[in-house]
Structure 1
Amino acid sequence: MPLLTINDLTKNFGGLAAVSHVNIVLEENELVGLIGPNGAGKTTLFNLLTGVYEPSEGDVLLDLDGNEQRLNGMKPYKIADLGLSRTFQNIRLFKDLTVMDNVLIAMNSKNPEGFLSSVLRLPKFYRTEEKLRQRVRELLSIFNLEDKVDTLAKNLPYGQQRRLEIVRALATDPKILFLDEPAAGMNPQETADLTKLIRQIQKDFGLTIVLIEHDMSLVMDVCERIYVLEYGQVIADGDPEKIKNDPRVIEAYLGGEI
């Protein structure tokens, strides 16, 4: 059974269908691209899958060890607890908190300590806190941010802020990671480094990764399958070779870019 099944997913805003009868299947441990022109409905689709919006029609079904869970109408924090995590097109870090604290906040739902232990600062609380901090350091080291633990997020260079957003998403221990334009605003070297990093994340964490991205060299390089949206509808899906040679995709989006 697929890890995530999206059936006839539709989102209407007044008389406008921002997403219309979208069908997508995500398997375990695969890297999937989601591309299309601006306004095609890509971020709206992410918002539907992560609980920011509730679908007007259709279903989002998550397979949890053979038990199907319908995500429609769930709050974002509940969906995150089930293993769906994301980054945002516009960086949404806590800019006046340190790198360490940004990631610790994401780990809050994984903290087994109860309210009383936390308020009274019992010894068990400090032991758990240190374990969480060690885990944060391990994650930051993968992204070459281990020396930035005490730096305020707003003082990081742009590319490092993007990396920190991914670390924070990984800190929730997701099954599926949605990356919304992770290379936006990056220079060519930063994008090349990110391409390697995305591959490493999938390999080391065994995740399903879904990637919205306008950098076609990155998409074609890392994605195993690609879905193409236009006017809120899927107009093509398949491997990168099929997508870049699809006449409708070329007309709608790629043009002479590839």
Structure 2
Amino acid sequence: MSLLEVKQLTKNFGGLSAVSMVNMQLEDNELVGLIGPNGAGKTTLFNLLTGVYEPSEGSIDLEVEGKKTSLIKQKTYNITAMGLGRTFQNIRLFKDLTVLENVLIGMHEKNKVGTVASIFRTPAYYASEEKMRHEALKLLALFNLESKVKELAKNLPYGEQRRLEIVRALATKPKILFLDEPAAGMNPQETANLTSLIRQIQKEFKITILLIEHDMSLVMDVCERIYVLEYGRMIAHGTPMEIKNNEAVIKAYLGGE
């Protein structure tokens, strides 16, 4: 099976269908885009895939240790533990904690040493804490944030807060990273830096990335495949060139007639 398989996924809110009969597949180590006009259902789809919402219909299956595992009705922390990490359209950092503390929080789920070791502060506990700190510092260095480890997250410039949120998501050691409009609010130079960063993430960590983004140039530049949503329905899927020339996409997303 694919790394992630989505079939006939539907989410209704009262009489409104926010996501309707969506099919999607993600494979190992690929960079996929998800685009569509405002209100198309992109973030709702992300919330379904990461356990924030429960689907009205359909299935979401993740390959875990060679077996197909349903993500339906799984707790969000279980979904994270199985290998799905995400960022949010509106940055959700622990703003009164330091940069380093934000990353360490992301690491704790995968670095448990047991209740007894934690309570009594055994050598195993301190070894685990030191290992996490070392790994966190390495991650922050990759994102040019190593000099900010003691700063409170809320004091970082906007672009650095975006990068920190990505670092925290990577700290959970995901197989799939969902990026929800990471370029939102960035200037052209910051967006160009982000484009390079996304490529670096995939190369460095060899993970699958699903990217929601309004910046079409970014999506077309970095993604191997692109899915297009309109009014909650998938209207197109293909390579950047195929999507760029798709009449339904031009009409729905680019304002064509």
Instruction: Give secondary structure in 1 for the equivalent of 2:94.
Output: coil
Partner residue in 2 for 1:108: 108
2 CA distance for matches of 1:208 and 1:150? 31
CA offsets 1:134-175 (integer angstroms, 9 cap, x no match): 000000011000111100000000000000000000000000
Corresponding position: 1:201 with 2:193: no
Residue type matched to 2:55 in 1?
A: P
Deviations 1:105-131 (A, max 9, x none): 111111231112112222221121111
Structure 2, unaligned stretches of length 5 or more?
none
What CA distance in whole angstroms lies between the structure 2 residues aligned with 1:112 and 1:153? 25
* Structure 1 stretches of at least 4 aligned residues deviating more than 3 Å after TM superposition: none
Superposed, 1:139-158 pairs within 5 Å as 139-158=139-158
Q: CA deviation at 1:63?
A: 1.4
The aligned runs of 1:47-58 (5 Å cut-off) are 47-58=47-58
Using the aligned pairs only, state the percent identity.
71
Who is 1:231 aligned against?
Answer: 231
Q: Give per-residue Cα distances to partners, 1:179-215, cap 9 Å, x unaligned.
A: 0000000111110000001001001111100000000
Structure 1 residues 1-258: aligned runs within 5 Å: 1-255=1-255
TM-score by length of 1: 0.98
Q: Secondary structure at the match of 1:144?
A: coil
Normalising by structure 2, we get a TM-score of: 0.98
The alpha-carbon deviation at position 36 of structure 1 amounts to: 0.3
Q: Give, in whole Å, the separation in 2 of the partners of 1:65 and 1:132.
A: 24
Q: Secondary structure at the match of 1:133?
A: helix
Number of aligned positions between the proteins: 256
Match of 1:107, SS? Answer: helix
The 8 Å contact of residues 5 and 61 in structure 1, kept in 2 or not, is answered as yes
Secondary structure of the 2:33 match is: strand
Cα distance in 1 for residues equivalent to 2:66 and 2:102? 34
CA-based RMSD: 0.9
| Counterpart Cα distance in 2 of 1:179 and 1:253 | 20
Distance in 2 between the 1:70 and 1:110 partners?
20
